[in-house]
Structure 1
């Protein structure tokens, strides 16, 4: 049995229990309208409106252009997430790439987060969710602890959650960044999805996050994205809850529940 069949079998198992597995889709590094962004939006647009999943688009505030606002005005299923400030690496030698590493002064980090949030609020207003996506999926714990005071309720990184309030991560990155910078391969992608599905069937509750980068896709990435999106949107064993629900976002003015 190939990996795609194994994954579908796990979705079938979820459907049989009447408890669909939760998924969500995040795409990073948007700043302006591009043919690649049009292509990404088109993948979602191909689906029936009733089955069209939400898309969390991580926008880099420092590079965001008003033209992006106009382009996304006709894509109501796309929500804006904050992707750092400038996607600039401030890590020192020996640290993983990060715009907000532990070695950088906390006041500088939080000032950048605030500047980025203000920029996106000015551009997108109600389209912006109070969710922070750190570049390279890497951010120091003190910065995470300071997000709530800046009005940010959600956090999205890569891999298993690390216990932060409002954290909803991604688990499958379809690009192999270290060597080929191309598609990781269909078998490898479905193998990872199968593993994540098995964890959920065994009791893990966090949604399974798919991570894409529209500006870096090769043709194999695009083909797989269409295949996976179509499968998940139409299978009774898969569900795409609203992003507000996944990140446990509160309405403005509601009391905080963060500890």
Structure 2
């Protein structure tokens, strides 16, 4: 049995892209970054080993000086804004949400601006003013107002709806099963990516949105690291798989004239 046999669904879908002469593009977002650590170094080394551009969603209020220093020598690592402080402000009965309806917009705008400015000062051109909401959700009324906080993009979970006012690039496969806090498994990760790729190929989803992989290096165990390595090895070996150019990932996602969600 091949080492990546659990990824059969993904490999089969990539074969269909190859037969069609198309490149299946991917991107990788790792959430909850705050500081340098052994886990962060393992993440960076894994990305380097497979020549993968990596995007870190960094929590502004928890940022430590060691993180910018740890990235200084790493070329293919970008930084996004992971909310404000990754604190739950959900109303009673709601799912966890930092950026929910409990906020007044003026206060939320100021908090988002402060976080954006802190990350821009710490990371310079490495930083993109793209919001990654904690728990991948935010109150719908805030989305069209994000540009007022200086944010030009948004990344959550699931197929994107293109917007004229924001660059939207989402993730589609989570390496972690959060109910068990364990590795989701090769088959589950493969199925999620294959499903999005198939929808792109058939015109049922935005064909230009790269299929996104989500990880959380701070809580990875050996099984999650091993699964990530197997997935990256498969993508590196398949002729149809390609990593989206990080230089164009965000501005290329803006759909001119597209209606708001």
Tell me the equivalent position of 1:222: 225
Contact 1:110 1:143 in 2 (8 A): no
Tell me the equivalent position of 1:253: none
Cα 1:121–1:142, aligned 2, differ >3 Å: closer, same or farther?
same
- Deviation by residue 1:205-259 (Cα, 9 ceiling, x = unmatched): 1211000000111111100111111221332211111234232269xxxxx9787
Shift of 1:97: 1.0
Any residues of structure 2 matched to 1:45-194 within 5 Å, and which? 45-47=48-50, 52-164=51-163, 165-178=166-179, 180-194=180-194
C-alpha separation between the residues in 1 aligned to 2:239 and 2:107?
46
Shift of 1:103: 2.8
Tell me the equivalent position of 2:199: 199
* Paired residue secondary structure (2:93): coil
Tell me the equivalent position of 2:215: 212
TM-score, normalization: structure 2? Answer: 0.89
List runs of 5+ in structure 1 lacking aligned partners. Answer: 251-255
Shift of 1:35: 0.5
TM-score, normalization: structure 1? Answer: 0.90
Contact 2:59 2:81 in 1 (8 A): yes
Of stretches 159-168 and 12-21 in structure 1, the one that deviates more from structure 2 is 159-168
C-alpha separation between the residues in 2 aligned to 1:163 and 1:98?
23
CA RMSD for the aligned pairs? 2.0
C-alpha separation between the residues in 1 aligned to 2:123 and 2:191?
37
Contact 1:85 1:116 in 2 (8 A): yes
C-alpha separation between the residues in 2 aligned to 1:106 and 1:242?
34
Tell me the equivalent position of 1:24: 27
Contact 2:109 2:148 in 1 (8 A): no
Of stretches 182-191 and 217-226 in structure 1, the one that deviates more from structure 2 is 182-191
Contact 1:156 1:168 in 2 (8 A): yes
* Paired residue secondary structure (1:58): strand
Find the partner of 2:43 among 33, 40, 43.
40
Cα 1:161–1:13, aligned 2, differ >3 Å: closer, same or farther?
same
C-alpha separation between the residues in 2 aligned to 1:118 and 1:228?
35
Contact 2:26 2:241 in 1 (8 A): yes
